[in-house]
Amino acid sequence: MTSLPDIDSGPKVMGDDGQFHATDEEVDLSQTPVEAWVSLLFFWTLGLTVFYQFFTRYVLNDSAAWTEEIARYLLIATVFTGAAIGVAKNNHIQVDFFYRFMPRALSRIMGLLVDVLRIGFFATATLLTWQMMDKLGSYKMTIVDLPMNIVYAVVMAGFAAMAVRAVWVMRIHLLRGYTVLERPGSEMNER
């Protein structure tokens, strides 16, 4: 006959006084990248705008027309500034299946090629956004009388931040001697 495990042998979460005692770990925000703070600012501004839209539409029964357009642009700003965080953490979608079967030298070359192509893509997207802004000129937003280039400037800054972070990731890969694609279980935090 097998014995059941002792349920009291695990970690103790209840004190002798019958109360739940827990302490949180200290929060350290010193390693939070600038892109995260900027993205958080856009996100909270988006949240306040959507709340204002809800309030004016359902409470005051007089919807503010500008909120839908501005909310759309704030969502774009949140995505493009937040995408730089994904590049910095090197956790965008990647297919590492074939790297498991490649010879080590080919895997290394392919990993570095991916880093170079990523930098090239983000740098090209930055340049193309700049060119599009130049062609738009003084084009205005639909409802709000502001230049549309404000939105595209944030997109361009997001692409530029992604390009800079991609260079930073490639530098880490070169110093470390392998890419995450070559060793899928590795983390970017192993520096």
pLDDT tens-digit map of 100-132 = 888 888 888 988 999 999 999 999 999 999 999
Handedness of CA 82, 87, 88, 91 (dihedral sign): positive
Joined tokens for residue 50: 């959507």
Q: Which is nearest to 38 in space by CA: 157, 164, 163, 169?
A: 157
Mean pLDDT on 154-177? 94
CB 177 within 8 A of CB 108: no
pLDDT given at position 2: 57
pTM value > 0.85: no
CB 99 within 8 A of CB 111: yes
- Residues whose CB is less than 8 angstroms from the CB of residue 18 and which lie 6 or more positions away in sequence, other chains included: none
